[in-house]
Structures are given as structure tokens and as C-alpha cells.
Amino acid sequence: MKTSLIVLMTVALSIQTTHVFADNTNGKNLYVQRCAVCHGPDIKGTGPLAHKSNPPTPDLTTPAFKKRLNDYPGVIVSSIILRPNGDLIPKTLRENGVKIPPHAWSVSDFRDLNQYMNDVISKKQH
């Protein structure tokens, strides 16, 4: 009796996990809340702050960026962790009065956001 309940719950849980993963709600939410203000919903650099920085926010759906992503699949996650552009992003947000609350990134957050962006980018023709 007890065992069958556990089996049932495990099945229910795995269905739910698969569902969440397929939708990738977490990746989408992270992108929308933390990146889209510059990168735009289409990842083409069309957000309201895209042209408020120097250099401006690049279009990440170009063949050039697709090649970069292919040669260096870590580019999205590393751009969050390493902040290769220094203070550029915080400065642009600050100057335009946009606040993005700090976030304690988990490994699955990085994976989900990376997956979400890869999915959108790979579907976009330039």
C-alpha cells in the first residue's frame, strides 16, 4: 500500500518535472525579468535600454553570434558570471532608473536560462 503510493507520487513528480522542463518557465522568467529590458523579448537587442549604452546591446540572433555560441557554448552563462563588460550593465540600469533585484543564481537557473536563450536563438532567422 505504502509502496504503491510512493510509486504513484514518483510518477506524478516526474511528469510534472518533464512538463516544467519542456515549458522552461524558469528560463523564460529569468530572461524576461533580467535580460529583456536590453536584449528584447526576441533577443535581437530591441529592449527599451538597448541603445542606452556604448556599445549598444547586440543582436544575439545573427549568424555571427550563432557561430560564437557554437564555438563557445558557455558564452551565455559566462557573460552572467564573469561580467566581461565590467560595470556597463549596472551603470546602464542605474542611469536609466531601472532596478533589477539581486538574484541568488542556482545551477538550474543558469541551465534553464541558457537553454531558453539557445532555443529562441536557434529558431530565429536573421
* Closest among 79, 45, 74, 80 to 62, alpha carbons compared: 45
**Site for ligand HEC (CB under 6 A): how many residues?**
21
Rounded Cα distance between 81 and 61, Å, is 21
Residues 66-85 that bind ligand HEC (CB under 6 A): 68, 75-76, 79-80, 85
**120 makes contact with ligand HEC (CB under 6 A):** no
**46 makes contact with ligand HEC (CB under 6 A):** no
Backbone angles phi and psi of 96, in degrees to 5: -110, 10
Shortest Cβ distance from residue 1 to ligand HEC (Å)?
47
CB 2 within 8 A of CB 88: no
Shortest Cβ distance from residue 90 to ligand HEC (Å)?
8
Shortest Cβ distance from residue 72 to ligand HEC (Å)?
8
Rounded Cα distance between 119 and 116, Å, is 5
Per CB under 6 A, the list member of 55, 63, 97, 102 interacting with ligand HEC is 55
Q: What is the dihedral of CA 32, 35, 38, 42, to 10 degrees?
A: -50
Shortest Cβ distance from residue 14 to ligand HEC (Å)?
29
Cell numbers of 97, please?
532608473
Binding site for ligand HEC (CB under 6 A): 34-35, 37-39, 49, 53, 55, 57-58, 60, 68, 75-76, 79-80, 85, 88-89, 92-93
